[in-house]
Amino acid sequence: MKYEVVIGLEIHVQLKTKTKMFSAAPYNYGAEPNTLTDPVVLGLPGTLPVLNYTAIEKCAELGLMLGCKIADVCKWDRKNYFYPDSPKNYQLTQNEQPLCVGGSIEIEMPGASRNIEGAHRWVELNRIHLEEDPGKLTHTAFDSLIDFNRAGVPLAEIVTEPNLYSSSEAVAFLNALRNLIIFSGISDCDMEKGQMRCDANVSLRPKGLETLGTRTEMKNLNSISNVKSAIEYEMKRQAEILDSGDKVIQETRRWDAAKNISLSLRSKEEAHDYRYFPDPDLMPVVMDKARIEVLNQMLPERPFDRQRRYQKDYDLPYTITSVLCANHQLSDFFEETLGLYNAPKAIANYLVNDLLRELASNSEQGASALSLSETKLKPQSIAELVEVVESGLISKQIAKEVFVEMFASGALPKSIIESKGLSQSNDSSEIEALCLEAIANNPKAVGQFKDGNIKAINALKGPVMKATQGKANPAILDELLQKLIESGE
């Protein structure tokens, strides 16, 4: 039988606050185990939670970015379950009233090829609520170790409606969501650092049928490619079950990325009785409507809006905008450079080609690719480089050399050009002598040029360029050679 897959995703995103959701203990990824704890984080007897207002505001901002309705009141419930990484053995979460309701996000499906823009569609969201992250378990061969640094970090849980219909749609959704959140500055969404995590609910139904089939919940999907593989594995597994006439069991399954299989988590099934009740330690927060309106007015530009603006206002091609707008730092860098020197196409080219190549070449040396903020490059560097090329001070050829140098040293183009003597030579008497020498040495090329082969002139330019170490201005050189050949007739 032909099946249609229906996918709903639950995405946990760590909000980028300096301190935890319910205490002033700081958080930063990669700290030594159990160095970011305090009495509240460890759930010591007698301790009480106090809300971090910044986390509420960041979550509301995320909701506004995604077009959600912000709840009138922010309330908290206890979700009771025992797990060794959970210091209180209940999680403070928002069961009854999520902070953000509804909403949707624009996604782009893959195009026919990498260079072609794919179709856009909107994916509906169900809710976004706030909760606290548990600690982190590390399993050894014979026991498990607990680090509570992560415990209490504010998490936004984004729940979609079940309206994704292929694994590639799920991937497109996650890419769009991740990019939008990074653009908003609410989280860095680094999946390797656990800043973004995903669970997927997957079910199949016979094509054409409206009712949903029995779903399974896939846990532990800690990369976008894992999400894709896990969904595809589950589609195949469920199709086989249905084809054989059996029924899919509603269960939680854990994705094993190493073995590329999912396994049933029966242990988690036995007690889904979370005994939710309103937390008596926290008071409701009435959301300030005026403040929400201000936040709404100040929202950063969404990535796809920015992409459309670049295409329309700067006439940049999809191949460029799709790269620029998939990288928040790069896109902001572009805007800043553009503010210094108004040449969008040239600037975009340097960023998308030269800069990304230099950043990537760092990763070839075994390290991970540099991010823009780790380089010494400033918007001023690129603005000045485009300016000196356009004014004819250096050639595009030389500019590439200058780029590599300024990437390495952080020096500005003009000082590099000066210290290395790279400015184009316009000393016409010296060049004229060299041109005449080239004409004399290459009668064959001269002949070909005269016969109409314009490209033959390149054979004459080569030796002049070599003699001037590339500093001859190619445009002037072209003109001069033509004039000399014509006058030599």
Q: Contacts with another protein in 285-304 (CB under 8 A)? A: 285-286
CB 11 within 8 A of CB 158: yes
Is 222 near another protein (CB under 8 A)? no
Is 87 near another protein (CB under 8 A)? yes
CA distance 173 to 158: 12
Contacts of 455 (CB under 8 A, 6+ apart): none
Is 266 near another protein (CB under 8 A)? no
Q: Contacts with another protein in 324-353 (CB under 8 A)? A: none
Is 282 near another protein (CB under 8 A)? yes
Binding-site member from 277, 410, 419, 426 for another protein (CB under 8 A): 277
CA distance 412 to 78: 56
Q: Look up residue 118 and give its DSSP letter.
A: P
Is 51 near another protein (CB under 8 A)? yes
Q: Which is nearer to another protein, 22 or 304 (CB)?
A: 22
Binding-site member from 4, 10, 12, 34 for another protein (CB under 8 A): 34
The nearest distance, CB 228 to another protein, in angstroms, is 22
Is 166 near another protein (CB under 8 A)? no
Contacts of 179 (CB under 8 A, 6+ apart): 303, 325, 326, 328
Binding-site member from 10, 12, 26, 205 for another protein (CB under 8 A): 26
Residue 188 has phi, psi (to 5 degrees) of -85, -15
Binding-site member from 69, 72, 84, 371 for another protein (CB under 8 A): 84
Q: Which is nearer to another protein, 39 or 462 (CB)?
A: 39
Is 238 near another protein (CB under 8 A)? no
Is 50 near another protein (CB under 8 A)? yes
Is 229 near another protein (CB under 8 A)? no
CA distance 389 to 382: 11
CA distance 365 to 382: 25
CA distance 166 to 252: 20
Binding-site member from 14, 17, 307, 337 for another protein (CB under 8 A): 17
Please report, in angstroms and rounded to a whole number, the separation of the first and last CA atoms in the chain.
81
Q: Which is nearer to another protein, 284 or 488 (CB)?
A: 284
Contacts of 164 (CB under 8 A, 6+ apart): 6, 7, 8, 9, 123, 170, 173
Is 362 near another protein (CB under 8 A)? no
Amino acid present at 216: T
Binding-site member from 265, 340, 404, 467 for another protein (CB under 8 A): 265
How many angstroms from the chain centroid is the CA of residue 298? 21
Is 205 near another protein (CB under 8 A)? no
